[in-house]
């Protein structure tokens, strides 16, 4: 059994599609199929059921996937340890960040890190706040960046920037000419919001609760997984939303939407690390850059 066989098996197991796995691995479909067949033949076990054009993991396949994933993670950790022994900051830095932070704040800082250390590979995953904090807690991310605080008490949290919420509407929306909106009026209009689990959604829910507005009283037409999708929907003038000031800036400058400040404390951008896991020099360097 080779590490390459494990890597190919996991790619197929995660996608349940040989062609997609082959594309992801930059291999031919026949090479991927041959690797899986050889692994099954070598050990006398069926890892996948072939059902028509579909494939499914067998029970043995599900058990083996967990072992293979843990082994490859251990190999990756060993490689990172060896990279740490050299003088240059190298290896891979696994970063998870929530969408607003990743899109409007983090990128220039990652560019500075990469410029300083060209041998370092940066792997950025964008997800909502809940998924980012889980990744840091589980060790699948070396460092995380989120909007606001998180519930995992076992993580170290440090505020590195702040941002404000703005109520956003299209140019033809009834609130477009207003300079402020009383939360008591929120139930009178339709809304398009970020999905539950995102930092922006959590902050809006906190704002609404502090103003005595029940989320159940709002007419929420859509819940969307990206700031850009929300802005596109809001620009129609059919609904309102609340987003980060940074996320709204470009659409506001282009005249596509109107922005109204929200009476809510500035929310923090927070960096997450795990107190019991080793901090690589890459992590330490990035922490220095974001704290500057």
pLDDT value at position 276? 86
List all residues 6 or more positions away from 241 whose beta carbon is below 8 Å from its beta carbon. Answer: 167, 168, 169, 191, 192, 193, 194, 230, 231, 233, 234
pLDDT in tens, 173-199: 999 999 999 999 999 999 999 999 888
Question: Which of 158, 152, 122 lies closest to 270, judged by CA?
Answer: 158
Longest C-alpha distance within the chain, in Å?
71
Q: What average pLDDT score do residues 109-129 get?
A: 93
pLDDT value at position 174? 96
Helix (H) or strand (E) holding 29: helix 29-43
Residue 84, pLDDT > 80, answer no
Residue 227, pLDDT > 80, answer yes
Average pLDDT score, the chain = 91
pLDDT in tens, 247-267: 999 999 999 999 999 998 888
Q: What is the DSSP letter of 127?
A: -
3-state secondary structure of 150: coil
Residue 86, pLDDT > 80, answer no
Lowest model confidence (mean pLDDT) among 80-94, 110-124, 170-184: 80-94
| pTM attached to this predicted model | 0.65
**Are the beta carbons of 21 and 15 closer than 8 angstroms?**
yes
Measured distance CA(214)–CA(204) in Å, rounded: 11
Q: What is the DSSP letter of 240?
A: B
Tell me how far the alpha carbon of residue 181 is from its chain's centroid.
31
pLDDT in tens, 6-48: 999 999 999 999 989 999 899 999 999 999 999 999 999 999 9
Packed helices 3-15 and 18-25: angle between N→C axes, nearest 10 degrees = 130
Percent of the chain with pLDDT over 70: 97
Residue 87, pLDDT > 70, answer no
pLDDT value at position 85? 63
């Amino acid at each position: 059994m080779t590490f390459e066989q494990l890597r190919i098996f996991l790619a197929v197991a995660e996608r349940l599609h040989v062609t997609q796995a082959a594309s992801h691995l930059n291999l031919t479909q026949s090479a991927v199929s041959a690797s899986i067949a050889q692994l099954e033949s070598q050990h006398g076990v069926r890892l996948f059921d072939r059902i028509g054009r579909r494939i499914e993991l067998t029970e043995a396949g599900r058990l083996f996937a967990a072992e293979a994933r843990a082994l490859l993670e251990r190999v990756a950790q060993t490689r990172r340890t060896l990279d740490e022994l050299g003088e240059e900051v190298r290896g891979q830095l696994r970063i998870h960040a929530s969408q607003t932070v990743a899109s409007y704040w983090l990128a220039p800082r990652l560019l500075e890190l990469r410029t300083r250390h060209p041998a370092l590979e940066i792997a950025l995953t964008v997800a909502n706040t809940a998924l980012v904090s889980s990744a840091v807690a589980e060790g699948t991310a070396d460092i995380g960046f989120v909007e606001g605080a998180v519930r995992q008490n076992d993580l170290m949290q440090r505020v590195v920037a702040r941002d404000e919420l703005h109520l956003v509407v299209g140019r033809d929306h009834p609130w477009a000419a207003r300079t402020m909106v009383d939360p008591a009026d929120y139930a009178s209009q339709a809304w398009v919001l970020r999905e539950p689990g995102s930092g922006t959604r959590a902050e809006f829910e906190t704002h609404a609760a502090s103003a005595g507005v029940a989320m159940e009283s709002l007419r929420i037409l859509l819940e969307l997984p990206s700031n850009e999708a929300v802005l596109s929907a809001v620009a129609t003038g059919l609904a309102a939303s609340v987003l980060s000031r940074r996320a709204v800036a470009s659409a506001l400058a282009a005249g596509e939407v109107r922005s109204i400040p929200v009476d809510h404390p500035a929310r923090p951008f927070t960096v997450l690390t795990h107190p019991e896991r080793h901090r690589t020099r890459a992590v330490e360097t990035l922490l220095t850059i974001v704290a500057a």
